[in-house]
C-alpha cells in the first residue's frame, strides 16, 4: 500500500526524517519549507512542493515537522493539528522502543536509539541517533535528546529542553523546561528551568 509523508522543514534534519521514514515503510516523501522559492533550497532525493501552508492542499497520509528549533516545531505541529491533519511519529526500525513505552504524535526516533519500559515521550520530541532513554523517564513536549545521550531510569525532562550530544544524566534527576545541557555534560543533580549547563558534573555556564 502506498503511503505518502509530507515533511515540513527541508533542512538537514529533514533529510534524516525522510531517510528514516522510508526505512519505516513510508513509500513516498515530499517536503514543504518556508524558504520555498526564495533560494535554491531543495533536496537531491525528494521533491519540495511548496510552503508549509501548501501542505493541506497536497494530500498526504501523514505529516511530520522536521524543524530543529523547538518553538517553530511546536508552531507547525499545532498548525497541522488545528486543521485536523494527521501528525505522524517516525520511528526507525533499527531503534528499540519498548511496547510499554508511550509515544505521543510527532515524535522522531532515529536509528540506534533505545526507549525502555514505561518511558513517556511527549509530542514533537526528537530522540536522535543512538540516544538511550531508560525506564520510567518522561520527556516533555518539543525537547531534543541529541545523538549518543544516555538518560538513566526515572529522569524527568521538561518542555523545549535540549540535551546535547553525548550527555549523560543520573537516575532520578529532574531537568526543567527550556534547559540546554551542553555537549558531553554529566548531569548529576536537578536543573532549573531556563539554565544552560556544561561539564562534569554539569554546572551553569558562566555568563561573561
Ligand atoms: C544531529 C545533530 O547535529 S544534533 C546537534 C547536537 N549538538 C549539540 O548537542 C550542541 C550542544 N551545544 C553546546 O554544547 C554549546 O557549546 C553550548 C550551548 C553549551 C554553549 O554554546 P555557546 O553559548 O555558543 O558557548 P561558546 O561556544 O561561546 O563557549 C562559551 C564557553 O563555554 C565553553 N563550552 C561550550 N560548550 C561547552 C561544553 N559542551 N562543555 C564544556 N564547556 C563548553 C567554551 O569552551 C567556552 O569556554 P571559554 O569561555 O573558557 O573559552
The 10s digit of each residue's pLDDT in 119-131 is 999 999 999 999 9
β-strand partners of 48: 31
Annotation marks residue 45 as catalytic: no
The string of DSSP codes covering 82-143 is: HTTPPBPPEE-TTSEE-TT-EE-TT-EE-TT-EE-TT-EE-TT-EE-TT-EE-TT-EE-TT-
187: its cell numbers: 548531569
The 10s digit of each residue's pLDDT in 45-85 is 999 999 999 999 999 999 999 999 999 999 999 999 999 99
Ligand 1 atom 6: the closest Cα is on which residue?
A: 165
pLDDT at 40 over 90: no
Decide: 199 in ligand 1 pocket, CB within 6 A: yes
Q: Which domains does the chain have, with CATH numbers?
A: 4-88 (3.40.50.20), 89-197 (2.160.10.10)
pLDDT at 196 over 70: yes
Any known ligand binding at 144? yes
The minimum-distance atom of ligand 1 relative to the CA of 167 is: 9
The 10s digit of each residue's pLDDT in 136-150 is 999 999 999 999 999
The 10s digit of each residue's pLDDT in 95-115 is 999 999 999 999 999 999 999
With CA atoms as reference, report the closest residue to 145 among 105, 100, 115. 115
The structure's pTM equals 0.96
136: its cell numbers: 520510567
Amino acid at each position: 500500500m502506498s503511503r505518502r509523508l509530507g515533511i515540513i522543514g527541508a533542512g538537514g534534519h529533514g533529510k534524516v526524517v525522510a531517510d528514516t521514514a522510508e526505512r519505516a515503510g513510508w513509500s513516498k516523501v515530499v517536503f514543504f519549507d518556508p524558504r520555498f522559492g526564495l533560494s535554491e533550497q531543495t533536496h537531491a532525493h525528494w521533491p519540495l512542493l511548496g510552503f508549509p501552508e501548501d501542505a493541506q492542499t497536497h494530500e498526504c497520509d501523514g505529516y511530520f515537522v522536521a524543524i530543529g528549533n523547538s518553538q517553530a516545531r511546536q508552531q507547525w505541529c499545532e498548525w497541522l493539528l488545528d486543521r485536523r491533519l494527521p501528525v505522524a511519529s517516525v520511528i526507525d526500525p533499527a531503534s528499540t522502543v519498548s511496547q510499554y513505552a508511550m509515544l505521543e504524535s510527532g515524535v522522531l526516533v532515529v536509528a540506534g536509539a533505545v526507549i525502555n519500559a514505561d518511558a513517556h515521550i511527549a509530542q514533537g520530541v526528537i530522540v536522535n541517533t543512538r540516544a538511550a532513554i531508560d525506564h520510567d523517564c518522561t520527556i516533555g513536549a518539543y525537547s531534543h535528546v541529541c545523538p549518543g545521550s544516555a538518560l538513566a531510569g526515572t529522569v524527568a525532562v521538561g518542555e523545549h529542553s535540549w540535551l546535547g550530544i553525548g550527555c549523560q544524566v543520573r537516575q532520578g534527576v529532574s531537568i526543567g523546561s527550556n534547559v540546554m545541557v551542553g555537549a558531553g555534560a554529566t548531569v548529576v543533580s536537578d536543573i532549573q528551568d531556563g539554565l544552560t549547563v556544561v561539564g562534569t558534573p554539569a554546572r551553569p555556564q558562566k555568563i561573561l
